[in-house]
Each structure stands twice: as structure tokens, then as C-alpha cells.
Structure 1
Amino acid sequence: MPPERTVALSLISVACLATFLYYTMLPLGPQLLWEPETTMDFRTVNKMTVAEKFTPDIMLSAPRRSSASPNSAGTLAVYTVSTYSFESHRKTSEIKVLDISSGSQSLITNAEGTSEPAWLGGGNELLWLKSGEKGHTQLVVGSADEVGKSYVAGLVPAPISDVKLKILDAERVAIVVSAKAKLDGSLYQKEDEPKKYSTGMLYESLMVRHWDHYVKPQRNALWHGILHRQKPHITEKLGRYSLGKLTNILRGSGLESPIPPFGAKDHFDISINGIGFVAKDPELNPATNTKCNFYYVSIDTSVEGPTYSEPKKYGKPGIEGASSSPVLSPDGNSAAFLQMKENGYESDKNRILLSDLTTPSTTVELFESNDGKGLWDRSPGSVGWSTDGKALLLVAEDTGTSRLFKLDVPADEQGTLELPIPLTPKAGHVDDVQSLGADSSHLFLSGSNLVDNSIYSILDPAGSAEAKVISSNSRNGSFFGLSQDQVSEIWFQGSSEKVHAWVMKPSSFSSDQRYPLAYLIHGGPQGAWNDQWSTRWNPAVFAEQGYVVVAPNPTGSTGYGQSFTDAIKESWGGLPYQDLVNGFAYIKESMDYVDTDRAVALGASYGGYMMNWMQGHPLGKEFRALVCHDGVFSMTNQLASDEQYFPNHDLGGPYFTKHQDSWEKWNPAHFTTNWSTPMLVIHNELDYRLPISEGLAMFNVLQEKGIKSKFLTFPDENHWVLKEENSLQWHLEVINWINSFVELPPYEAESAKRLEAQN
């Protein structure tokens, strides 16, 4: 199980508060109503109503903004917005541009099938993708200066994604996209496949299934081409771009990039001189190994048709784990990337590696130490270059937040390397970092927090001030009826170390009342509850039902030092369980506004495992009801999981070796005799990380023992519930299940009523 990328604290400005007070004078309805083709920022007033109460249907129908990308002048930023309507049962997608100085926004297009806008050249021209008939993809060019005017610069006869562009000169722009390739390296188009009259699939090696699909012969590949600007017509200011031939730079190499199932444009980068990317080691089985390598393909674009070198591998001996986040320096001569040390451990600490692309086999590990642990005890999730190429920009989890750090890179090996300097506080979640323009030292940040689903801000790395928020999708949560006052933190003594937890109270909280407890256990187990927005496990949804939500980060969690993360190995039901026992005791003793006699616990993935483990142990008796989403029932059933390196690492080794005792020691199925707490079981058909038989086994035990229980499944969902209508039903069932045990009223949102009427 990869860490759950689930579940950030900024101040409300005077202007934001004034706007909130103004809108609270308007008539309030039970839902947040979003005007089509609008999003929210500090300066743009929209036709909408402030939420009287934050509910799942409000969360799921709220506009979702992507990270934003500034143009080369640093004056505009482009982003996408997707909005789902429970009235029309349709999702709309828009490409928009934000004026960074004024905060005003412009709609570029809302044509169906449009996605992935990118700035084209040094002006305000944009390129985006538009999916068409028969799986074909158009490359469309438009301009932020002339909204409504666009043309097709090229047509690719297959689905493509992950666009990256690089200006070569005034007439040419290099483009890289990802698309499936056949075994011979040619472009794969499902529509062109000959009809088969049988459905059997034969496998001779792992993987058979991955995440939510059966593995097929086609592989991800990177395709490079040139966009040429033609001479302008007499009526045009600028000539139109035309796409040349796309070449599969991985053809014949046996490599696949981006790496499935989650790899995207963060798995490769482009410079004037070439393309850097990460790919699984082709000599190792991907089901039992995590090792990835960084590769570089040099490209000569001086000739009419580009020529490509064979992929060259860069790395450091002894660093043998997963690689990620490759970025090429502004001059194209260096590459930075992240790589873990241990093969087979997907949550090992990311090391920062630097390769000189002009010198064969020159790769160094920054902060290398004699004990092998590294001098910086944080694990960055992404890395980027400053515009001058003198510093690296690192985003890393830190104590329940995601922060931006700056690392000055010495000009030579004799230079002093200082530890990274934090540029953002321990608050919020930085999702993306980009330079504010081609020549600017300022940074454009995209992020979120526990009450706001999208925040754009500008940061001066050389200054002492915090990042300046220029656009908030929900006015710092006020349009959701949420505020930072609801969010706090606690620390308590765990099994061996202090444990951190987030606390979220209802917006109507009164200190003279007592509230039921919702104890949320995160997945991973190497993951964390962060100060971050989520539409899958959002603490605010439960808080607004009337719960005090406590979301602890027990042993195994990320962002508290690598030793804390590593300590869960061969202790799945040991140290973390005791942390949760201690946490519950702390709540009972120190938080007098929490009624622990009316407590429920919920968890997914590893959190679901913990629901089953608690069922068989004393802590489970403290709760009136449990919710287990896609959890582990029997440890030995993890032999049916897709990524076998995960249980092999966390449980000490493969089951068929001397490590059987560890697998059996932490097996919840051995303690079903003790099960007695009512439980809602949720498990999905397409979950190949933890197959649906796990959920069925839980439900069978509960039913045969006569324990009050329900089973919810979605045939078209995987380890996560992502479709809006399904997610609404998920929330309806979960909330009404737990509310019924703690004397809270049922969830009766208008959208929920419509869902019940359809069923």
C-alpha cells in the first residue's frame, strides 16, 4: 500500500473577513451554490451563497483548481477548474488565466475534453490538449490576449498527456508528451486493435494486476517533437505553430516512463539539450523491487530532424531504491533527482542526488553521512531549480505539514553545503512550486490547508515575510463555513516517542458542551494526516456533523524523522496500536469537551487494518462503532496484492521464508473471537492493492457472529472512491452509520435525498 496521499494554517486577511461578513448578510441556504464558469479569489466577487453547514455534497460540488503556472513575464498564471453538478450529473472543465497583480480571471475555454494548458513561447500564447473522436488528441493553440481565438497545431492519433514544453528559439518549441507504445515502440491506439474473440490473458511473470487494472503489453513512453512557427499570414501578427513528427525516445530500450500507476510529468524533464527521466530497472521484477534509475537522453536539434542518443543511466553505488522528481538545471548541464537507498522499501528516505551531465558517471549524494542515514532528517517529495541554477527548491513533509526549503548548491566540491533553509512555516501544504517568470527570483506557490481547497501565493525567498496570498478558492474557508479557529494540534506520549495529532472542532463549537469523538486512523502506514485539503478523508466533513475529530500520526507516520517512519517495520499492531491507546487515554483525560463514551473510529487501508486489529484488542471496546475502508483482514492474503515488495519489507521478508512468524503475529484474523463492536465494511471491486475478498471475509465474520454490520462496495472503484456520485453515497453511508450510534441526526443533504430517490 503506498502512503495515502490524504489529508494547512494561514491567517484570514482583513479584506477576506470583510467579504465574509458581507456575504453572511445574504439569505443562506443549505448548500453552497457555485456560479458556473467562476472560481473564487480575494478580489473577484462571485454569485454564490455562503454554506450554512459544510457537507459532503458541498465539498464534492465545489470547484477544484489545479496548481497554477505563471507565464515567462510573471504577470499571468494559467490553471484548470473542474466542477461537478449533482443536478445535471456532469463535470465541467475550464482553462482559466489569473492576472497576478489584480486577481481578476479570464476564461480561456470550457470546451469539452480540454486539459493540460501550458505557456507556449515567451508571450501569452497557450497550448492545451483536446481529446477527440476515436481516441485522437488535438494540440490546440490560443492566447490569453485574444480569448476565443484558437487553432489546431497538430493531431496525434492516440490519447496523450503530461505536456512539457521548452523554447529552442524564436521559431521552434520542443514538446514532450507521454503516450502508450506497442511492443515494437510505435504509438498505441486502442481503437485500432483488431477484434479478439477470446478474453484470456496469459502471464509468465509478475505483475499480473496493478492498482486497478490488469497489466497489458503496452507500456508508457515519452514522445519528443518540435512545434515549428510558420510565417504569419497577412492578417496575423504571429505565425501559427505546426507539430512535426513525434519520436518515442524509449524505443528499444526496455524502459517505461512515466512509471505506472501514478507517474506523470513529475517523472521527466526537458531542457534545450535533452530529456531526463526515471524508469524502473528493467533487469528487476517490478512486483518485488522498487529500484528505479535516472536516465538522460541527449538531443541534437540543430539539424532538420532531431537526433537522439541512447538513454544513459546516472546514479550512485549503494543508492538502490526508487527514484523520482528528475529536474534539469537551467543551463541543461546538471540534473537533480531524488532516490531512496533501499530497494524494496517504498517509504525509505529520499536522498538528493546531483549529476553532472557533461562528465560521465559523475553523481553525488548531498548530505551523505558515514552512518548512511544522511545529515538532513527529512524526506523531500519533490525538487526543483531556482531560475539562476544556484539553488535547489525542496518540498518535504514536516510535522503534519508540507514545507518549502531552499538549498544553496556550492559552485564546486570544495564549497560548504548548509542544511536546507525553510521558506514556509509549519502550516499548510505546498503542492507545487514554480518560478514567477523566466528571470524572477520570486516563487509562485500552489497549496491548500484543512479549511481551504486551493491557495495561490507569491514568495520572495530572500525576504523575511511569509508568502503573500493572491488567490484563495474559498476565501480561507469562509465560503465553506469553515475557519482556522476550528483547527488545533496536540502532542501526547506514545509508545516510545511523543505523537502529534490534528484536532478539528465543529464550527459551532461551544466550550461548555461535550462532543462525540471521531478518531481517524490514516493509511500507508507510512503516511500522515497533514494540514491539507482532501475530498476523500476530510476532517471538516465529520467535524461539521458535530464531532471533535482527532487525527493522530502514530509510529510509522512520515514527516517526523526517518527513524519514526522506519519503526513500524515488523510492528504493525505493536507500536502504532499502543500510540493509539495512549492517544485515546490522553483525549479522555485532557480534553474535557470530548465525550469519549460516544466515540467512533474510522480508517482506510492501513487504517482499515487497524480497525480490524482494534476489534480483536481492548481499544476496540472503547468505540460504539467502527468504519473499515479497504482494510487488511488476513495478513497472508497480502500474497494476492499487486506490489509484493511492500509486505515483504514491512513484515521482514516473504511469507514462505523464515519470516512467517511476523506475518502471523500481526494478523487480525487470529483475533476474531474477540470481535464485538458494530462495523461498517467498505471494499471495492477494482482494489487490487487489497483484493475485495478481504472485505467480504470481514463481513462474513461479523454477520456469523451476529455483530451489527453493513457492507458497501463499488464495482467501478479501486482502493479509493473517486467518482463524485459514488463518493456522495460513501459519505452518506459512513456518516449515517456513525451518527446512529452517538445520538447525532442523520445526514440529510439535498443531494443525499436525490441519491436515495434514485435508488
Structure 2
Amino acid sequence: MYAALRPGALAALILLTGGLAAPARLDAADKRPMKIEDLYKFKRVAAPQIAPDGKRVAYQVGTVDLDANKSSTALWVAATDGKTPPKQLTDPKGKRDAAPRWSPDGTKILFESTRSGSSQLWVVAADGGEPKQLTDISTGASNGQWSPDGTHVAFASSVFAEFSEKPFAESDKLNKAKDDEIEKSPVKAKVFTKLFYRHWDEYVGDKRQHLFVVEAKFGDKAGEFPEPRDVTPGDRDANPTSSTFSSGDDFTFTPDSKHLVFTAVPERDEAWSTNYELCRVSVTNTSPKWETLTTANKAADSGPKFSPDGKKLAWRAQKKAGYEADKWDIVVADCKPDGTLAGEPKPLLEKYDRSANEFTWVDNPRIKQPTIFYTADTEGATLQYVTRIDQPGDMRQHISAYQSVSGLTASRDGTVRTWLVASMTSPPEIRATGEVEPFVIKAEEPKQVAPGGLHMYSIATRQVEVSKANDALLAELDLPRPESVKVKIEDGEMQMWVLKPPGFDPKKKWPVVYLVHGGPQGAWEDGWSYRWNPSLWAAQGYVVVLPNPRGSTGFGQKFVDEITGDWGGKCYRDLVAGLDYVEKLPFVDKDRIGSAGASFGGYMMNWFAVNDIAPRFKCLITHCSVWNFESMWGTTDELWFDEWEHGGLPWEKPGKYAEFSPHKKAGNLAKHKTPMLVVHNDLDFRCPIGQGHELFSALQRQGVPSRMVNFPDEGHWVLKPKNGAYWHKEVFGWLTKYAPPGGK
């Protein structure tokens, strides 16, 4: 095993290294179980960005008004030493201020806001004051980025490609006129000439995500705005249309501030190709022709970031064309100030059998070498790692813990870093730490060998709790820590989380909810969710079990790959083994077990329902699932996914599309008659609504107890506050009916 620690080991490490004590909590007897309404009371901390000098961090805090069915997001600033209370920087008055970005000189903060009616870029002084609007583009502005010299800002906007080569004033007027015409027309017909024409939950039609550059001038007169330039005109997206290939920051200025390097959607066959490229254009560009930097790689490249000294460019890259769940490596190449590559890309994680998520550069002053911090899914958590680019054979796990880390940022000199940390018992909050440790390997350090023979070393450092936005609410709630267990499966072990309900008495028999995650290349991690929150499910009076079967990330690429073309095979048998384990637990009532899942997890509910495992569940809950692989291919948005999973097109591989498709065994629904709740939404273009209709028809036609809940205004997820609360009541009501909660 590599350097993952047991959950209990973190406390000892922090005590030894001077970590802060946990805030005071009520005694367990004074706490209460979590309620559905509590899920919407939590402050939603996100998007931390550290100031260039490292003394402060800006971030966004979202609040939900459940009664009013709306949310609002404001900007906050906090000291990274934790010595002064956080301060609210903006008041959006019910709107959304988000995605803060410090100016290079640290005096201003750029952010997105809907305060003027549409999403535009605004700027506020870092010490507070009245924000000033920077952009006024009819198609909206997002993802603002400063140039290194502070003179310009780049942003993304979805525009009609047909107008994009015209001067801005003319093109913006034409974009607005066409949008208005579509909105006002009594005819709502849509005409498509190519894929993609829709994505996730919206029709994109002929619009393309382009990058614009605008001078960072803020006039004192109302209505005066600098004129932006579309630097990526043409019929191609210059920003990822699929979140799978987004690294958070998908474009950046070059060190000379005169060019942009960005993640571009494939030039051709974008609905069935994963060949995302890094491209480069001048900030004065007006031509659809872009320079491609990654022509040698036919798989995905994403998320360019220049080193602090401007001499190297790093990005994430995959190797297998067409495979969205291939391992992400971090590659580094020497470069010139204008962003052109001056050397061959070199992979940093070639010998490390985990996939990199996000990363950030740190200019490490103590070792005088650029260093990269990154996160990776690791055995039911997302942990933080650090590696030197001149020593890719050695890397360290930094701030070891079960939990989930994201949002890495570092000060300009690398001496202070911030990140978000979450767990099943705490939503994301910001932490900070000081100096980066040098890579000095001491003889007495316990050496651990990771997959591939890499030497791994754990590091624990002093952490400062910065945001503390949810301490008061957390102090009220009884949120038991999850336990990690290992289950024997064919060819090895499966990790699984077990979460016991508040007031758990081991002498009683408890019902179980067996939750299957989506993806399928995903994982249940020691993290927080505002949609599928295990603590909330446990609070209803259930033991919650979260297995990570074949296909789960964080257990090596082979484990991930083994789901491909085998959805109903090894993964299913892993889940059966997990259920066997659960039923033998002394506190489990095996006559009160239900199961639920969404997306791939929903598919597995459907596969459970038509196989012999079905009678072992008192009920099933399937959300936005896959029922029929054959109809799924022609109606989903991202064709590469189905074509990779089944080895080709439906008419080329009909047997592979049929082999594990639940609809082929629909007759078994009547045999088992396991009650089933079906949730499916009209705006879900990933697992389209027809999948839910087909399943519900099959259930009703065969007299299986079933209920369908449809949200016409939701996509793959249920995001509106009132809808989310209703969803939880339906789901928990179904469980209560067939597998009543509480210990007996």
C-alpha cells in the first residue's frame, strides 16, 4: 500500500505537528440527527483563490433560501493565518457573485456576477468598496482570467459562430438580435446540422464557446465599457463542452501576456472524439486558424498552466483515444515566454498508478525548484500530493487524511497554500498551510512503496482553519464518522464505507440502504454532497453502505478499466459480494434492505431488478438511469462514451449492446416484483427521459409496484431547492414504505 492513512491517524499527526484543535462541539447526547432542511442551511464555500502575497484568500459562499426556492452567492475574504474573522466582500442582493480572481498586484478582485441581469465580469477593490462592471456582452461572460501584466482580462462566452468574425459591436448586436428573435418567436422549432446540438441539460444549437480578451479599464461613467475581441472566432469551441475534460482553469495567458493557451474541443467529430487539444492564439487574433500545441497526442489534453518562472508549461493528458476514463497524467514541457513549446512533454506520473485531478504550481524557495501539487482519488478519498518536476520518481502525499481535497492555490512565492477540504461529516471549508517542505529524504522516514515501485512519504503540517462558515450548524448535528471496510472479491478486495445512524445501538437490528455510485468511473469518497448525502440518509434511521466496486477510481487504472464492456459482470459480482458482507453483520436486519443509485448507479438498480439478487432488496430506487443500451446510443449527447463501452457502433457490435442491457431481461421484473421508484427528468440529455419511460412502462405492464417521479425543469441532477427537498421526501418515503427505518 502507498501512503494512505487510517482515519484515526490524522488526529495524531496534527497533534504532533501543532495543528489547531477542533472547535468545541456539543456532547453527543445534546446533538440531533440531520434533517432535509439542514442540507439547505449549510453555507456552500467554493472557489478559493489566494492573494499573490499569500496573506489573504478570496472565495465564494452560497446560501440557499428554501422557502423562496432560490439561492445567492457572495464573495468573502479571509486571512490565511486565521487570526482575524472572515469578511464578506460583496453583497449581491439575491444575485450571484462568484469565481474570484486576484489582480497580479493584489489590489483588485475580478469576479462573475449576475447583479446586472446577466452573467458579466466585475471588479472590486480587495479591501472592499463598490464593484465596477467590466463587461457588457449580450451573450454573457464567465471564467475571467487576468493577464500576468494586469493589463487585460480573458473570458469565455457562447456566441453564434456565424457572426464571430465580424467586429465586436456588429457581432454582439447580431447575437442579441438572434437570441431575442428566438425568445419572442411563437415558433419554437429547432434546426440542427451537426452534433453536438445539446449537452447535459441545454440545447446549444449553433452556439460555440469562444474566448474574448478585453482591456482591464474601468471607466467612471455608467455605461462605458471597453470593447472585447473574440480571439477564437469560427465554428469550434475554444472551451470544454464536457466537464469530463475540464480542469477548472481551461485557458491561460502566456507569460508575455500576448497570447492565450487553451483547451479546445476536437476540430472534427466532437460528439464521438476525445481528442481535446491545447491550442494557442495571439490576443489580437481575428482568424479561425489556431496553432495546436499537442498534435502528437490523439487522446485528451487539458488545463494548461505555466510555471511561476514562465519557463515551463504543464497540463493533464490521457493516452487512449476515445476513452474518457483513461488515466490522467501531468506532463511538463519547456516553453518560451510566448507559450510555444521548446521541448518534448515529459510525464510526471508515468509510474504512479493513480489519475491526477487538478494541480497547481508552487515556486519552492527552499529547494529552488518548481514543484507541483495535485489531487488524486485514493481509496475512497481525494488526497493531496506533491512532486518535484526534476524528481518524478519520488512523490509525497501531503497532509494525509481520509477526506476530499480540491481547489488548490498557492501564493506567488510558494510559501502559503490554500485548499478546500470536505468529508462525510463536514461540507467544504478552506484550510491554509505555510512553507513547502524540501525533498530531503531522511533515513529514519518510513518508506512505503506505491504501485509501480515509487517511494512515497507522508507529510503532515500545521493547518489553519480559515473559512469556518458552518461551525455553528455542525455543532448541532450528530454526524457519525464512516468506517472503511474491505470485502473479498474475485481477484482481490473492494473498499466499502459503512455509516451508522445517529443513536446507533449495536444490540439492535437495523435496516440498510445500499448505495451504488454513478460514473461508472467514479467513487464514494469521504467527501460531502449536497445531492446524495450519506449522512442525511443515515439520519433517517438506516445503516448506509457505500461500495466501491470494479470501475471505481482511486484503486489503480486496471480496477477502473475492468468495468469497460462488463457493466453486468465483475462489477455486479463485486456488489453481490458487498451485499453478502452486509447481510452477515450482526446489527443488520437483512429483511429490511433497500438499494438506490443514480446514472450508472441507476443502471445497476435496473440490473438488480432483472437478476436473481432482486428478492434480497425490499425496494429499489433508480434515478436518471440507463435501461436500454440500444436506444441510449442514439439519444445521449456524448457518443464516445457508449462507443467505447461497447467496442463500436450498435450495428457493428449488436451483441455487446445487448449483453448487459436490462431491457433484454425485462420479463424478470414480473418474476421478482421488487418495488421500484423511478426518477427521471425531461432535461436530462445524458441519460435521456426515454430511458425512464421505457423502464416505467415495463414495470407497470407487468404489475410491479412502481412509482415514477418526473421533474420537467431538471436535468441529470435535481438542483432547484424546492425540487431537491421534494426529491428527498419521495425517496425517503419509498424506503419507509418497504424497509421501515430504525433499530429493532
Classify the TM-score, shorter chain. Answer: 0.7 to 0.9
Indicate whether 1:366 and 2:347 are aligned.
Answer: yes
Q: Which moved more, 1:181-190 or 1:577-586?
A: 181-190
Deviation for aligned residue 1:539: 0.7
- How do 1:541-620 and structure 2 match up within 5 A? 541-589=536-584, 591-620=585-614
In structure 1, runs of 5+ residues without a counterpart are 1-7, 29-50, 234-238, 300-304, 369-373, 411-415, 746-759
Indicate whether 1:278 and 2:252 are aligned.
Answer: no
Task: Pick closer, same or farther for the CA change 1:451–1:430 going to 2, 3 Å.
Answer: same
- What letter corresponds to residue 105 of structure 1 in structure 2? P
Which of 658, 661, 679 matches 1:664?
A: 658
> Match of 1:695?
692
> Match of 2:356?
380
Which of 202, 218, 237 matches 1:213?
A: 202
Task: Pick closer, same or farther for the CA change 1:357–1:66 going to 2, 3 Å.
Answer: same
> Match of 2:89?
108
Query: Identity over the aligned pairs, expressed in percent?
Result: 25
Task: Pick closer, same or farther for the CA change 1:697–1:732 going to 2, 3 Å.
Answer: same
> Match of 1:405?
385
> Match of 2:125?
142
Equivalent pair of 1:434/1:445 in contact (CA under 8 Å):
yes
Indicate whether 1:649 and 2:631 are aligned.
Answer: no
Distance 2:141 2:218 in 1: 22
> Match of 1:462?
437
Equivalent pair of 1:121/1:173 in contact (CA under 8 Å):
no
> Deviations for 1:591-618, whole angstroms, at most 9, x for unmatched residues?
2112222100001111111111111111
Indicate whether 1:473 and 2:473 are aligned.
Answer: no
Equivalent pair of 1:174/1:227 in contact (CA under 8 Å):
yes
Which of 290, 296, 301 matches 1:311?
A: 290
Q: Residue 257 of structure 1 aligns to a residue in which SS?
A: coil
> Match of 2:419?
445
Deviation for aligned residue 1:632: 1.2
Indicate whether 1:637 and 2:631 are aligned.
Answer: yes
> Match of 2:709?
712
Indicate whether 1:336 and 2:341 are aligned.
Answer: no
Which of 498, 511, 530 matches 1:516?
A: 511
> Deviations for 1:65-101, whole angstroms, at most 9, x for unmatched residues?
1132121222221111111122333323221111223
- What letter corresponds to residue 384 of structure 1 in structure 2? T
Task: Pick closer, same or farther for the CA change 1:653–1:104 going to 2, 3 Å.
Answer: same
- How do 1:216-231 and structure 2 match up within 5 A? 216-228=205-217
- How do 1:251-266 and structure 2 match up within 5 A? 251-252=233-234, 254-260=236-242, 263=246, 265-266=248-249
Equivalent pair of 1:452/1:477 in contact (CA under 8 Å):
no
Equivalent pair of 2:144/2:156 in contact (CA under 8 Å):
yes
Equivalent pair of 1:130/1:140 in contact (CA under 8 Å):
no
Indicate whether 1:296 and 2:280 are aligned.
Answer: yes
- What letter corresponds to residue 432 of structure 1 in structure 2? G
Which of 191, 195, 202 matches 1:202?
A: 191
> Match of 2:408?
433
Distance 2:197 2:134 in 1: 39
> Deviations for 1:546-566, whole angstroms, at most 9, x for unmatched residues?
111110010011111001111
- What letter corresponds to residue 275 of structure 1 in structure 2? L
Deviation for aligned residue 1:221: 1.0
Task: Pick closer, same or farther for the CA change 1:668–1:511 going to 2, 3 Å.
Answer: same
Equivalent pair of 1:325/1:383 in contact (CA under 8 Å):
no
Q: Residue 147 of structure 2 aligns to a residue in which SS?
A: strand
Q: Residue 529 of structure 1 aligns to a residue in which SS?
A: coil
Equivalent pair of 1:520/1:601 in contact (CA under 8 Å):
yes
Deviation for aligned residue 1:132: 5.0
Q: Residue 618 of structure 1 aligns to a residue in which SS?
A: coil
Task: Pick closer, same or farther for the CA change 1:265–1:160 going to 2, 3 Å.
Answer: farther
Deviation for aligned residue 1:173: 3.0
Deviation for aligned residue 1:469: 3.7
Distance 2:102 2:613 in 1: 54
Deviation for aligned residue 1:729: 0.5
Task: Pick closer, same or farther for the CA change 1:133–1:166 going to 2, 3 Å.
Answer: closer
Q: Residue 427 of structure 2 aligns to a residue in which SS?
A: coil
Distance 2:295 2:287 in 1: 24
Distance 1:152 1:405 in 2: 38
> Match of 1:346?
324
Equivalent pair of 1:516/1:595 in contact (CA under 8 Å):
yes
Q: Which moved more, 1:464-473 or 1:733-742?
A: 464-473
Equivalent pair of 1:616/1:671 in contact (CA under 8 Å):
yes
Task: Pick closer, same or farther for the CA change 1:660–1:287 going to 2, 3 Å.
Answer: same
Indicate whether 1:130 and 2:113 are aligned.
Answer: yes
Task: Pick closer, same or farther for the CA change 1:432–1:249 going to 2, 3 Å.
Answer: same
> Deviations for 1:123-163, whole angstroms, at most 9, x for unmatched residues?
4432333335564735233332xx34444455444411111
Deviation for aligned residue 1:269: 1.9
Q: Residue 683 of structure 1 aligns to a residue in which SS?
A: strand
Distance 2:698 2:376 in 1: 41
> Deviations for 1:431-461, whole angstroms, at most 9, x for unmatched residues?
11111x2223332111211111022222343
Task: Pick closer, same or farther for the CA change 1:137–1:570 going to 2, 3 Å.
Answer: closer
Deviation for aligned residue 1:401: 0.8
Task: Pick closer, same or farther for the CA change 1:741–1:280 going to 2, 3 Å.
Answer: same
Equivalent pair of 2:537/2:544 in contact (CA under 8 Å):
yes
Equivalent pair of 2:133/2:218 in contact (CA under 8 Å):
no
Q: Residue 608 of structure 2 aligns to a residue in which SS?
A: helix
> Deviations for 1:4-60, whole angstroms, at most 9, x for unmatched residues?
xxxx986599986663239x89xx8xxxxxxxxxxxxxxxxxxxxxx6221222112
Equivalent pair of 1:188/1:218 in contact (CA under 8 Å):
no
Q: Residue 691 of structure 2 aligns to a residue in which SS?
A: helix
Q: Residue 20 of structure 1 aligns to a residue in which SS?
A: coil
Q: Residue 195 of structure 1 aligns to a residue in which SS?
A: helix
Deviation for aligned residue 1:271: 3.7
> Match of 1:420?
395
Q: Residue 664 of structure 2 aligns to a residue in which SS?
A: helix
Equivalent pair of 1:655/1:663 in contact (CA under 8 Å):
yes
Distance 1:430 1:634 in 2: 36
> Match of 2:372?
392
Question: How many pairs align?
Answer: 680
Equivalent pair of 2:423/2:528 in contact (CA under 8 Å):
yes
> Match of 2:485?
490
> Match of 1:247?
229
> Match of 1:21?
26
Q: TM-score by structure 2 length?
A: 0.85
In structure 2, runs of 5+ residues without a counterpart are 1-6, 439-458
Distance 1:469 1:593 in 2: 39
Distance 2:76 2:126 in 1: 11
Deviation for aligned residue 1:265: 4.9
> Match of 1:46?
none
- What letter corresponds to residue 360 of structure 2 in structure 1? G
Distance 1:354 1:716 in 2: 43
Distance 1:480 1:693 in 2: 43
Deviation for aligned residue 1:666: 0.5
RMSD: 3.0
Which of 712, 716, 726 matches 1:729?
A: 726
> Deviations for 1:157-201, whole angstroms, at most 9, x for unmatched residues?
441111111341xxx432111112332325557643252543333
